[in-house]
Chains A and B, each alone.
Chain A
Amino acid sequence: MTTPLAPAPAGGAGAPAAPEAAPAPASPRALALHRLRRQKSAKAGAAVIAFFVLAAVLAPVLTAISGTTPDAVDKKAVDPYLGGLPRGSLGGISPDHWLGVEPMLGRDIFARLLYGAQISLLVACASALLITLIGTVLGITAGYFGGRTDAVISRFMDIMMSFPSLIFMIALLSVARDVNRVVLLIGVMSLFSWPYIARVVRGQTLSLKHREYVEAARASGTTNRRILFGEILPNLTGTVIVYVTLAVPGLIGTEAALSFLGVGIRPPTPSWGQMISDAVLYYKVDPMFFVLPSACLFLVVLAFTLVGDALRDALDPKGGRT
């Protein structure tokens, strides 16, 4: 698409020439949905996400069908004379073990991947929800009330963002007492991720606050509560949805990295990062063991990025629609 110049004399900079008067008066939401549907990449991404979510949710059913469990050690599937490498080709793929087994212990990779998907998606999505909540509440508060409230919250966000987040997460996780590792991971990851959403929400709130309709509402004595929930929040949903979707791949990657480094999910609970960390030693002799969890990680991250990108194009056309 070419960049049409803006004929509108005021306020139209950068906007395409036509859409200021679209033929059918469609609602912005319908337009967004229409744009979203046209993107093949978004559909593919959504399909991949649906696939992995289903796999994670149905993990107990699927493993019952395949007749394996993530923790069961199968010494028969590995060859002690070959240093514990899986018997058979392609990492020991067989009717018993659909995707092969781990070297040494012979645990079933198919089952471990399914349960790993549970952890990966659970941790990432729960963190995403948590940072949405914290980020939106603090961002709106800072942007709407301004003044000292804003100064305090913004300063706090600055400090949180000048932390080496991965290192600090690891430090925290390494001293934390073992309670529930999943909850701990969600908490620690959220702690360092909310400022990014809060900053965006704050900026949007600031600009919304000075729109005429909000100022009019305020001038006519509408309560803060009504303005926040009636005028500001509905206008933020698009942005928040986009940023959260785009935050998910980062969170999935972080969870994998933490588990890879041994401070995330503790064995025997399977997680992709941990599997990759185990597989790194065998990448030459048993490439399948390494490739499978890496591929899962790649696909899920890619899928969320594609959907997030498409959402941004649809809901937030100023953010560089191509």
Chain B
Amino acid sequence: MIGFLLRRLLAMAATLLAVCALTFAVFYLLPSDPAAQFCGKDCSADRIQLVRQQLGLADPLVVQFWHYVTAVFAGRSYGTGPYAVQCHFPCFGYSFQSAQPVWDLMTDRLPTSVSLALGAAVLWLVLGVGAGVLSALRRGTWLDRTLMVGTIGIAALPVYFTAMILLYLVVTVAGILPYPRYIAFGEDPAGWVTNLILPWITLALLYAAIYARMTRNSVIETMAEPYVRTARAKGLREARVVGRHGLRPALTPVATMLGMDLGGLLAGALITESLFSLPGIGKLFADSLNKADQPVIMGITLLASFFIVSSNLVVDLVYAWIDPRARLS
């Protein structure tokens, strides 16, 4: 188990390094003048010059990459002399436009994104897995057919549409909920829920539909496995056959997918956050796109990769914990 963990951690580090290199390449090598890109839209020639010096663009590429990678772990300062800016550990870059380290900008927004992703995940798991299991166990009935037709339709709904319809019906017409804004859970748990419920539903509907279809297939496949037949041949109660022998393996791929989706959503709910103007990482990203604030775009790209890679690791570990066969290979 220790060896397994070590190997996974090593693979994770390698992947992250590859991601770093690619990110570096995208932002430092592709643009004709990275300094101009980093400085933003309305930037005077003087400022571009200053940024160029602060970024150390005159250094050899390898040195630049070295600075860039070490900064994440040790922090760095951009430039020297009176114009030097300090970027502490963990340094994900420095936004010259807002004169703040990217890390600070991101950590401000993180609670919103985490709240959005986790809440939505709970919702879609309950709805999606519930519908999928029900559909599989009642295969061929009208309930199964209705659920499957419904999910295929819901999965095709553009999030923009779901979000706007919900806003229109619930907020504008019925007026039962306020227009969503982020309230910290610690401040007002009830307000946290009522303000986030619409974004949660918007995100969760899409995923719930996908999870329902996947769960259904997985459960149907597993229930046809010989070991489920063995469980019945042992004389176990049907509830135990389904619950212990059927659902556990059937839901393993669902858990895997959940890990990956959550990892992707922590920094990737761009559209939902934009539609509801929720101040999350995704909204920060979208706003930075409009302002062409490259250091923030780059920082978020790295952070998002980190979330995905580490959630892959968690998924692997959970997988090994659930399925003993995975521990060996």
Contact = CB atoms under 8 A, between A and B. Distances in A.
Q: Touching in the complex, A and B, CB below 8 A? A: yes
Nearest to A168: B301
Interface in A140-185: 158-159, 162-164, 166-168, 170-172, 174-177
Interface stretch (B47-55, B71-79, B241-249, B284-292): B284-292
Contacts of A294: 158, 160-161, 164
Contacts, number: 131
A298 B157 contact: yes
A167 B308 CA distance: 12
A280 B221 contact: no
A298 B161 contact: yes
A131 interface: no
A305 B289 contact: no
B140 A164 contact: no
B37 A302 contact: no
A260 interface: yes
Contacts of B223: 3
B274 interface: yes
Interface residues of A, number: 47
B68 interface: no
Contact of B158 (A3, A163, A297): A297
A50 interface: no
B267 interface: yes
A167 B267 contact: yes
B289 to A, nearest CB: 6
Given A171-B26, A174-B297, A284-B168, A260 B224 contact: no
Given A261-B271, A302-B152, A320-B220, A164 B305 contact: yes
Given A159-B19, A171-B26, A283-B167, A177 B32 contact: yes
B201 interface: no
A322 interface: yes
Q: Which of B19, B164, B220 has the most CB of A within 10 A?
A: B164
A162 B152 contact: no
Interface in A264-306: 276, 280, 283-284, 287, 290-291, 294, 297-298, 301-302, 305-306
A171 B158 contact: no
Interface in B186-225: 216-217, 220-221, 223-225
A99 interface: no
A164 B308 contact: yes
B124 interface: no
B79 to A, nearest CB: 22
A287 B168 CA distance: 10
B308 A319 contact: no
B288 to A, nearest CB: 9
Given A167-B301, A284-B172, A320-B220, A305 B268 contact: no
A249 B155 CA distance: 10
Interface in B48-99: none
A162 B308 contact: yes
Contact of B305 (A2, A162, A280, A302): A162
A280 B140 contact: no
Nearest to A14: B224
Contacts of A108: none
B322 to A, nearest CB: 21
Contacts of A176: 30
B251 interface: no
A263 interface: yes
Contact of B264 (A164, A262, A301, A306): A164
B156 interface: yes
Interface of A: 1-3, 5, 13-14, 158-159, 162-164, 166-168, 170-172, 174-177, 249, 253, 256-257, 260-263, 276, 280, 283-284, 287, 290-291, 294, 297-298, 301-302, 305-306, 309, 319-320, 322
27 contacts: A3-B139, A13-B225, A159-B18, A162-B308, A166-B270, A167-B285, A167-B304, A175-B27, A176-B30, A253-B158, A256-B158, A261-B274, A261-B289, A276-B158, A276-B160, A290-B160, A290-B164, A294-B164, A298-B161, A302-B153, A305-B152, A309-B152, A319-B217, A320-B217, A320-B221, A322-B140, A322-B144
